[in-house]
Structure 1
Amino acid sequence: MKTVGSGKKANFGIMRALGAMSGTSLDGVDAAVVETDGLRIVGFGAQDYRAYSQEERDVLTAALGTWGGGAADKAARIVEAAHIEVLRGFEDVDLIGFHGQTLAHEPRGRGTCQVGDGQALAEALGRPVVWDFRSSDVQLGGEGAPLAPFFHFACAKWIGGERPLCFLNLGGVGNITWVDPRKAAPEDEGALLAFDTGPANAPVNDLMRERLGLDCDRDGAVAMEGEVETGALELFLAEPYFTRMPPKSLDRNDFAEMVGLVRELSDADAAATLTAMCAAGVAAGMAHCPKPPEKVLVTGGGRKNPVLMEMLRVSLDCPVVPVEEVGLDGDMLEAQAFAYLAVRVARGLPTSCPATTGVSALVGGGVVSDPE
């Protein structure tokens, strides 16, 4: 096992990297191949998805907010087994980027906790595994999140972007990356700004499970029948987080009291209000962008919710479209991001900078584990 830090840029050969992501929505493991030299994207390869069973999801949910102990150990075993199962189906890859499962995130306190042992994956899969992407950033004063912005910069180049644009990821927590693709590199001044916008799908998913036994509000069907409780929305927006200057990040449970704000509402009104809170957090965050973006490209599960997408279109002053409209895959973008970042780590390139996580200097965070 070895830790890899930052190094000098060079003209590298193309690698086939396999990335895996298990997000805070706790739905399952995404896996996808990216062909890259760590600077530019050459192409995208095979992909797969392995859903968590309800029993597995219950164990992971019980471990959220923990920093170790029995619950975290049980979660780690599930995360490792699920990843090994899906990643074994890929052939002809040079290395693997493994994010693990975030259980707790407190960058200004105890740090960040992702479970899953990259060395165990390397042994099981017979490939080098890059993992523990966040710890180095947090240790140097950064938020440790979001980590996809350097990949978003490469995506903006890949799609031929010529003006500033935003990538908006709506998973369990929302995060946004403002990109100026006219810059030469992601670490250049003015190339990126990134931060968490607020809760996204997690509160709605939790509400659906608690009240209706559903995994999510599929197609926004429940929220579509409800009305937004403006008083609860105003209380939500009064949280100091929204006026804090970025970079900034959140834990999945930082806004757990949101569910309390809608507890007395009907199912439909509660879902509509929580969905509106997600959109309102994004709208508040847009005020921090250095320049208005040409468009907002939405990735993650939230882009499949027509109620949420319409709320975003009404509240933002630019087109809001799924990333599929520019030829990207919104289901796999985060997995692809960790494939791309794995190559950067292996080759000594930075993966975060002051404008993306608030870290004090360029950081190439991550550990490379080789199979014995």
Structure 2
Amino acid sequence: MQPIRALGTMSGTSLDGVDAAELVTDGEMIHGFGRSAFRAYTEAERATLRAALGRWPGEEGVAEAVEIVQDAHADLLVGFPDAEVIGFHGQTLAHDPENRRTHQAGDGAALAARLDKPVVWDFRTADVALGGEGAPLAPIYHLACARWIGADTPLAFLNLGGVGNLTWVDPSAADPEAALLAFDTGPANAPINDLAQDWMGEPFDRDGWLAREGEACPELVEAVLRHPYFLRIPPKSLDRDAFREAGARIDTLPPSHAAATWVAVIAASVAQGIGHCPTPPSRVLITGGGRHNPAIMAALAKDLACPVEPVEAVGLDGDMLEAQAFAFMAVRVARGLPTSFPTTTGVAASVGGGTISDPTGTLAARAGGAGHHVRRR
């Protein structure tokens, strides 16, 4: 297959906005990077999305959330006329893999019709239906990134969005299943963002100011780390608010101390997670919004036994890596390649998720004739 220009999107559980990034790829290798852009959610939009968290299709507030997600993506994606396919993640409102269900708000078929472009979407449902966690999905792209930077020893990518997720990568392994282990480590930006919103009217703790003003409470850090989630063997995944009850006492602290305590929880849970890796990573490359928080980065550097660096240190874009991942996976879905594996989501066998909505009828030809995977909706 010849590489094509794919456009990926990500609207994460931190609820800051929509990322969009182009990637030139054949679904197996990175051949080049294109343009990227960000569309922030307004305060009112964030409030509507936050109110819909934990809800399922048909429940109160979900239709309003879907409308915001659709409009925000359409506003942003119309500015990428050269994209040949779009990977549309939608907005995760609820995630319950134990009961084989997950909810990413957004209708890829409607977006495809609106933009008149092929859209690959609903990436998680097939994995969850087959007993997988449905997350994280970016690991197969992390493997491509590790090879693109020329890594020759095992390393880890740590994405700090609403929750933290870690991918251990061995770039020397030929089989993706042997090359990858992935799982959610614990809370990340979500509880700190909620604190910042509630106490300062800000969507996040800019420059870690709030956390750096406070002191962590070790007893409450330990209390959160006693959560049953940390006893589970990966692969495993989390809902955004999985630690709301366990962390309720943290949120009764003065805001700066609460933020500092959540930072300590983030670092301690990542350090504990790295203990699950088949071999210690040679370095941890940080992506996602959390790498902009100096308090989080300092805590990780203190708690981890290997170098901790933002992915920019190796020439990658940490703000757009997740969006690029869904561009990469859109091409994999179009080619009929798997997007998740037993070692990344716990699914019984490698599976390719995703629905293809193609009003143009051109994606099959672009993807090398994988027409039987295309659903026109």
TM above 0.5, yes or no, is yes
The CA deviation string for residues 72-107 of structure 1, in whole angstroms up to 9 with x for no partner, is: 111011100100010000021110000000000010
> In the alignment, is residue 55 of structure 1 matched against residue 16 of structure 2?
no
Distance 1:263 1:250 in 2: 20
> In the alignment, is residue 104 of structure 1 matched against residue 97 of structure 2?
no
- TM-superposed CA distance for 1:147, in Å, is 0.2
- TM-superposed CA distance for 1:63, in Å, is 0.3
- Give the letter for the 1:41 counterpart: I
The answer to which structure, 1 or 2, has the higher relative contact order (CA under 8 A, 6+ apart) is 1
8 Å Cα contact 2:100/2:129 also seen in 1 = no
8 Å Cα contact 1:232/1:262 also seen in 2 = yes
Distance 2:175 2:291 in 1: 28
Paired residue for 2:342? 354
Paired residue for 2:79? 89
- TM-superposed CA distance for 1:298, in Å, is 0.1
> In the alignment, is residue 287 of structure 1 matched against residue 284 of structure 2?
no
8 Å Cα contact 1:219/1:304 also seen in 2 = yes
Paired residue for 1:4? none
- TM-superposed CA distance for 1:217, in Å, is 0.9
The CA deviation string for residues 180-233 of structure 1, in whole angstroms up to 9 with x for no partner, is: 00012423xx20000000010000111111122121111111111111101101
Q: TM (normalized to structure 1)?
A: 0.95
- TM-superposed CA distance for 1:239, in Å, is 1.0
More displaced 10-residue stretch of structure 1: 353-362 or 213-222: 213-222
Distance 1:140 1:258 in 2: 29
- Give the letter for the 2:90 counterpart: G
Paired residue for 1:152? 142
8 Å Cα contact 1:33/1:44 also seen in 2 = yes
Distance 1:121 1:229 in 2: 46
Number of matched pairs: 359
SS of 2:269's equivalent in the other structure is helix
Q: TM (normalized to structure 2)?
A: 0.94
Distance 1:25 1:315 in 2: 24
CA-based RMSD of the aligned residues comes to: 1.0
Q: 2:103 aligns with which of 89, 100, 113?
A: 113
Distance 2:327 2:3 in 1: 13
- Runs (4+) of structure 1 moved beyond 4 Å? none
Distance 2:252 2:47 in 1: 25
Query: Following superposition of structure 1 onto structure 2, how do residues 1-372 of structure 1 map, counting pairs within 5 Å?
Result: 12-68=1-57, 69-109=59-99, 111-187=101-177, 190-371=178-359
SS of 1:50's equivalent in the other structure is strand
Paired residue for 2:368? none
- Give the letter for the 1:82 counterpart: A
How many percent identity over aligned positions? 62
SS of 1:196's equivalent in the other structure is strand
Which stretches in structure 2 are left out of the alignment for 5+ residues? 361-377
8 Å Cα contact 2:16/2:41 also seen in 1 = yes
Which stretches in structure 1 are left out of the alignment for 5+ residues? 1-11
